[in-house]
Amino acid sequence: MIANILDGLVFGLQLGLLATGLTLVYGLGGILNMAYGQIAVIAALVVAFSIEAGVPLLLAIVIGLLAGGLVGLILDQTILRPVYRLHEEPRVLLSLLLTLGLSFVIEGFLIWQFPLDALSIRIPGGTIDILGVPMRTGSLLASGITLVTFAALFLFFRYTSLGMAVRSVIENEEGARLVGVRPNQMLRLILFLSGVLAGLVAVTRSMVTPVDTHAGLSITVFALIVTVVGGLGSVAGAFLAGIILGIINVVAADFIGSYISLIMLLVAAALTILIRPAGLLGVPE
């Protein structure tokens, strides 16, 4: 059971980080980015090809994360342009449709060009015992990186003036504008950050299991489920929901079967909407 919970924590931290990139963009700009998983895959492939080309691992990872961020910026400057002219529900729907279309295009292209490529970062060192459970060093390192990232995000949003400005737009966009915050600048920043986070998820995930060309859709679906449970626009909610769902996922897979685990997550998301529509830490309307 302890082993299950630890495995769930490892997976849950990744789910949380995964959802963070999606939930921030939604909370800030009312944009549901269905191409999120494909951004992660692009970043993963960039890292894989950089390593193949002889670039040192750390530098390759940095290049991959920047590539993810760059895709976010490109979205901001291209297909999201018409979305920015709309507000409320039409805005969410148009962003969903356009990015969904884009996700098909990117995935089709990647599968056509790189059908067998995948990112798999092997962390040497076998296993380390945690509470008597042998954990793979790859899992531990991935979790460590994720925790550090969450801590950095927390400090950024809590204590920097830029981070507070981003939160102010999530809290009340008109209020933010009245104090001189430029919402479109904040959105651009967060789309970049979201791309970097997508890349980071791909990198940490690849320390546990290979991230291949087809992984995009499942990454987006997981991110969506965690976002719904955690509450739109809430980083703390994404963190909490990620951990809870990670543990549910692993426990369900172990006791019932891995075929049921995704269904369990969807059930958890559906129950959340029924009981607490705004999510664990979301703002009720």
Partner 1 sequence: MLEVKNLSAGYSGNNVVHDASFNIEAGEVVMIIGSNGAGKTTLFKAVSGLLSASKGQVHFDGRDISQLPAEEVSRLGMSFVPAERHLFPRMTVRENLVLGAYPHRPDADTLASVLALFPRLEERLTQHAGTMSGGEQQMLAVGRALMSKPRLLVLDEPSTGLAPLLAQAAYEALRVLQQQGMTILVAEQQVPLAMSISDRGYVLENGLISLQGTTKELAANPGIRSAYLGVS
Residue window 224-263: x/- pattern of binding to partner 1, with contact defined by CB under 8 A: ----------------------------------------
Q: Answer yes or no: are the C-beta atoms of 231 and 278 closer than 8 Å.
A: yes
Q: Which of 82, 115, 175, 277 binds partner 1 (CB under 8 A)?
A: 175
53 binds partner 1 (CB under 8 A): no
Q: How far does the chain reach from its first CA to its final CA, in angstroms?
A: 38
The torsion angle over the Cα atoms of residues 94, 269, 72 and 17, rounded to 10 degrees, is 170
**Which residues in the 78-137 window bind partner 1 by CB under 8 A?**
none
Nearer to partner 1, 165 or 241 (CB): 165
Could you tell me the smallest distance in angstroms from the CB atom of residue 9 to partner 1?
27
Note the Cα 150 to chain centre separation in Å: 12
Task: Report how far residue 129's alpha carbon sits from residue 53's, in angstroms, rounded to the nearest whole number.
Answer: 35
181 binds partner 1 (CB under 8 A): yes
Q: Which of 92, 123, 141, 283 binds partner 1 (CB under 8 A)?
A: 283
- Spell out the long-range contacts of 58-62 with Cβ–Cβ below 8 A and sequence spacing 24 or more: 61/203
Query: Residues of 244-272 as b/e, b for ≥16 C-beta within 10 angstroms?
Result: bbbbbbbbbbeeeeeeebbebbeebbeeb
Of 24, 279, 285, the residue nearest 167 (C-alpha): 24
Could you tell me the smallest distance in angstroms from the CB atom of residue 242 to partner 1?
20
Q: Answer yes or no: are the C-beta atoms of 119 and 49 closer than 8 Å.
A: no
Nearer to partner 1, 50 or 168 (CB): 168
Q: Which of 77, 78, 177, 209 binds partner 1 (CB under 8 A)?
A: 177
Could you tell me the smallest distance in angstroms from the CB atom of residue 235 to partner 1?
12
Nearer to partner 1, 177 or 263 (CB): 177
The SS3 call for residue 119 is strand
Could you tell me the smallest distance in angstroms from the CB atom of residue 215 to partner 1?
34
Task: Report how far residue 131's alpha carbon sits from residue 64's, in angstroms, rounded to the nearest whole number.
Answer: 34
Nearer to partner 1, 165 or 253 (CB): 165
Task: Report how far residue 135's alpha carbon sits from residue 154's, in angstroms, rounded to the nearest whole number.
Answer: 27
Q: Segment contacting partner 1 (CB under 8 A): 83-91, 125-133, 175-183, 263-271?
A: 175-183
**Which residues in the 149-168 window bind partner 1 by CB under 8 A?**
161, 164-165, 167-168
Nearer to partner 1, 162 or 271 (CB): 162
Could you tell me the smallest distance in angstroms from the CB atom of residue 163 to partner 1?
10
| Site size toward partner 1, by CB under 8 A | 18
Q: Residue 170: CB partners within 8 Å, gap ≥ 6?
A: 24, 27, 28, 233
22 binds partner 1 (CB under 8 A): no
| Interaction site with partner 1 (CB under 8 A) | 161, 164-165, 167-168, 171-172, 174-183, 283
